[in-house]
Amino acid sequence: MKIGYVRVSTKEQNTARQEEIMKSLEVDKVYLDKMSGRNTDRPALLEMMNFVREGDSVVVESISRFARNTKDLLELTEQLNSKHVQFVSQKESIDTNTPAGKFMLTIFGAVAELEREYIRQRQREGIEIAKEHGKYKGRPAKQLDTFDEMYHQWKSGNISATYASKQLNISRSTFYRRVAEHEEDNKPIDF
């Protein structure tokens, strides 16, 4: 059986291009995820990996749709290999039924990971430059509309920090950090 796997990073992105490729390759069944490929805990991917049987082929439009780093790519293809399932990447012309295909899979995975590392490095460098020029402030703090109310209830001993943080939908450490900031901002001025 020919099984296709299609992935886009967000719900808003369109899968039509990848689905057309699957039709042109006469894929029997398609699994589709609309989420980041950062990890392998993707519902359709997990379902597909459980579904495939010996003799099946898994077809993807490109390696980047299947896995985002070499480690995940090699682990996933090894799982397929252990089930005697062929892996085919259309864009890179990789077919794991051949020794050359296995070798190319490893090379392409390493190159893709190297490029992502370059992107992260450029991003870090850009942030450092922006910080030096005072243009980068980081992610804005989460707005907590009911913080004052929760703070006063907690301070008076009516609720626990755990309860307050759950009500505010933040971690306890964030709650305590906000408490410290609040108390610093509201400290009386000595004359």
Which residues belong to the active site? 9
d(CA 37, CA 121): 19
Integer CA distances (angstroms), 85 to 61, 78, 135, 191, in order: 17, 9, 51, 77
d(CA 137, CA 127): 9
Give the DSSP H or E segment for 17: helix 16-24
Integer CA distances (angstroms), 133 to 122, 136, 138, in order: 17, 8, 13
